[in-house]
């Protein structure tokens, strides 16, 4: 339990800097005159390398342990931050994309370590697994939201390079603690997985991974690039105002995720299953569709976005928590990182799809079209989830 607490604390610290860095990059490069599509491209390698990292990282962690992958992720994030401390004239799209590639690898190594660790520590007795997964996921997103606020505030207070330097120093301290305090053997399998074990052979994990891909694509297609740029460019919001709104959204979303076990058990005191994922997926479809319709009808944009964000946060948070529980429940205990890595590979692919589509669709057709795309992606996720088994156990 002490080891898992250390892993979780490291993951939290990393998440705080990751959220801040994302907001710093979006707002800083928008101020420099980058187009929405250019900003989306800055995150292309971040998401693309996340796909590769989750696939290979699960295999690597099964062989060398979760501690090594977590420390490696922290070191890579420090390296990514260091790349952004060069002369501002060197901050070209290609250079920032390379730094974001390192950051994407780092983030998914850390996520893989934390999400896999809960299966090893908690097990599946007495419904505790669902509560712990929801608490971990919810707290992570609350801290990511705090990072969004921190990024906007630090950009205004210290400038881009000052903010990046402060985050690198904080992670260096966390890395030193992890190196000396964590057990080097946590998460190693009793067998040496082959490279061919990378791809999941489980139908339910493949289905859940497909649903996850479209679920996170549906969020990022309007939230990652289109929304902050729209708030600044169309509504005239300041850096701090944009960062505060998005931070409050993700913090609230994280709290709802942590409460997901209470919410989904209100009618039936059982753990989630495939039907739970499908039902909440179809409920989520309504929200971006209604927001798009309201904007097209000429409703006040600020009111539509704020009310829509609150509603979307509630429905999306429960969806995400249910999915996060199901992958840990479905995964084999010996070799959990292989199944979790494959699943989060799909998660990263969904974010990649959503991020690139967010910049292109917004630049070509506007925010309303991004919300329509979100509706289509969400419906695809819910449709795939209907084929999941109605039991989460082995």
Residues with Cβ within 8 Å of residue 147, at least 6 apart in sequence: 15, 16, 17, 18, 19, 20, 21, 22, 23, 247
Q: Print the SS3 string covering 205-256.
A: HHHHHHHHHHHHHHHHHHHCCHHHHHHHHCCCCCHHHHHHHHHHHHHHHHHH
How many other CB atoms sit within 10 Å of the CB of residue 115?
A: 25
How many domains, in total, are found in the chain? 1
Continuous H helices in 32-65? 36-42, 44-64
Q: What is d(CA 257, CA 132) in angstroms, rounded to the nearest whole number?
A: 11
Q: Is residue 394 one of the residues assigned to a domain?
A: no
Q: What is d(CA 307, CA 318) in angstroms, rounded to the nearest whole number?
A: 18
pLDDT band at 189 (very low <50, low <70, confident <90, very high): low
Q: What is d(CA 12, CA 139) in angstroms, rounded to the nearest whole number?
A: 8
Mean pLDDT lowest among 95-109, 176-190, 302-316: 176-190
Q: What is d(CA 242, CA 228) in angstroms, rounded to the nearest whole number?
A: 6
Reply yes or no on whether the pLDDT at 224 is more than 90: no
Reply yes or no on whether the pLDDT at 383 is more than 90: yes
Q: Is residue 118 one of the residues assigned to a domain?
A: yes
CB-based burial label for 180 (10 Å; 0-12, 13-18, 19+): exposed
How many other CB atoms sit within 10 Å of the CB of residue 117?
A: 26
In tens, the pLDDT along 267-301 reads 667 788 899 999 999 999 999 999 999 999 999 99
Sign of CA dihedral 109, 351, 311, 389: negative
Reply yes or no on whether the pLDDT at 393 is more than 60: no
Length of the chain: 394
Residues with Cβ within 8 Å of residue 66, at least 6 apart in sequence: 7, 112, 113, 116, 117, 186, 187, 337
- Which of 22-31, 72-81, 336-345 is the most confident on average? 72-81
**How confident is the prediction for the chain on average, in pLDDT?**
83
Q: Is residue 57 one of the residues assigned to a domain?
A: yes
Mean pLDDT lowest among 183-187, 195-199, 221-225: 195-199
Q: What is d(CA 163, CA 167) in angstroms, rounded to the nearest whole number?
A: 6
pLDDT at 188: 60
Do the Cβ atoms of 99 and 186 come closer than 8 Å?
no
Q: Is residue 120 one of the residues assigned to a domain?
A: yes
Across the range 117-140, mean pLDDT stands at 71
Q: Which pair of tokens denotes residue 201?
A: 């052979």
Q: What is d(CA 242, CA 92) in angstroms, rounded to the nearest whole number?
A: 24
Q: Is residue 351 one of the residues assigned to a domain?
A: yes
Reply yes or no on whether the pLDDT at 94 is more than 90: no
Three-state SS at 85: coil
How much of the chain, in percent, has pLDDT values that exceed 70? 90
Q: Is residue 390 one of the residues assigned to a domain?
A: no
Residues with Cβ within 8 Å of residue 277, at least 6 apart in sequence: 208, 211, 319, 322, 323, 326, 385, 388
CATH number at residue 282: 1.20.1250.20
Three-state SS at 200: coil
Our measurement of the distance from residue 1's CA atom to the centroid of its chain's CA atoms, rounded to an integer in Å, reads 25
Q: Find the domain containing 34 and state its range.
A: 2-185+197-385
CB-based burial label for 126 (10 Å; 0-12, 13-18, 19+): exposed
pLDDT band at 394 (very low <50, low <70, confident <90, very high): very low
Do the Cβ atoms of 351 and 47 come closer than 8 Å?
yes
- Identify the CA nearest to 343 among candidates 248, 234, 215, 224: 215
Q: Is residue 191 one of the residues assigned to a domain?
A: no
Q: How far is CA 205 from CA 33, 93, 284, 330, in A?
A: 42, 36, 22, 7
- Which of 14-18, 46-50, 168-172, 332-336 is the most confident on average? 168-172
Q: How far is CA 391 from CA 347, 384, 394, in A?
A: 22, 16, 8
Q: Global pTM? A: 0.76
pLDDT band at 211 (very low <50, low <70, confident <90, very high): very high
Q: Is residue 357 one of the residues assigned to a domain?
A: yes
CB-based burial label for 376 (10 Å; 0-12, 13-18, 19+): middle
Reply yes or no on whether the pLDDT at 5 is more than 80: no
């Amino acid at each position: 339990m002490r080891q898992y607490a250390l892993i979780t604390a490291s993951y939290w610290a990393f998440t705080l800097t990751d959220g801040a860095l994302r907001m710093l990059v979006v707002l800083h490069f928008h101020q420099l005159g980058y187009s929405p599509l250019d900003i989306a491209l800055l995150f292309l390698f971040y998401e693309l390398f996340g796909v590769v990292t989750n696939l290979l990282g699960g295999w690597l962690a099964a062989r060398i342990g979760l501690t090594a992958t977590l420390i490696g992720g922290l070191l890579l994030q420090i390296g990514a931050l260091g790349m952004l401390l060069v002369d501002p004239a060197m901050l070209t799209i290609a250079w920032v994309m390379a730094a974001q590639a390192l950051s994407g690898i780092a983030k998914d190594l850390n996520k893989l370590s934390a999400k896999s660790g809960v299966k090893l520590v908690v097990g599946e007795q007495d419904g505790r697994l669902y509560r712990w997964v929801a608490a971990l996921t919810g707290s992570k997103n609350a801290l990511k939201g705090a990072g969004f606020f921190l990024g906007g505030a630090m950009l205004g207070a210290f400038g881009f390079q000052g903010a990046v330097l402060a985050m690198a120093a904080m992670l260096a301290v966390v890395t030193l603690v992890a190196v000396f305090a964590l057990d080097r053997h946590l998460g190693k399998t009793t067998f040496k997985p082959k490279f061919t074990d990378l791809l999941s052979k489980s139908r339910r994990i493949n289905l859940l991974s497909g649903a996850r891909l479209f679920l996170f694509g549906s969020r990022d297609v309007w939230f990652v690039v289109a929304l902050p740029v729209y708030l600044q460019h169309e509504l005239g919001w300041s850096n701090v105002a944009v960062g505060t709104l998005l931070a409050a959204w993700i913090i609230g979303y994280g709290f709802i995720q942590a409460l997901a076990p209470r919410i989904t058990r209100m009618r039936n005191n059982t753990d989630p299953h495939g039907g739970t994922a499908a039902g909440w997926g179809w409920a989520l479809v309504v929200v971006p569709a209604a927001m798009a319709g309201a904007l097209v009808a000429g409703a006040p944009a600020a009111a539509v976005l704020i009310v829509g964000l609150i509603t979307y946060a509630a429905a999306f948070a429960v969806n995400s928590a249910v999915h996060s529980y199901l992958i840990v429940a479905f995964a084999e205990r010996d070799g959990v990182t292989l199944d979790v890595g494959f699943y989060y590979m799909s998660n990263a692919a969904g974010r990649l799809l959503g991020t690139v589509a967010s910049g292109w669709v917004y630049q070509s057709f506007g925010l309303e079209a991004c919300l329509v795309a979100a509706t289509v992606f969400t419906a695809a996720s819910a449709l795939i989830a209907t084929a999941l088994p109605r039991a989460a156990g082995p």
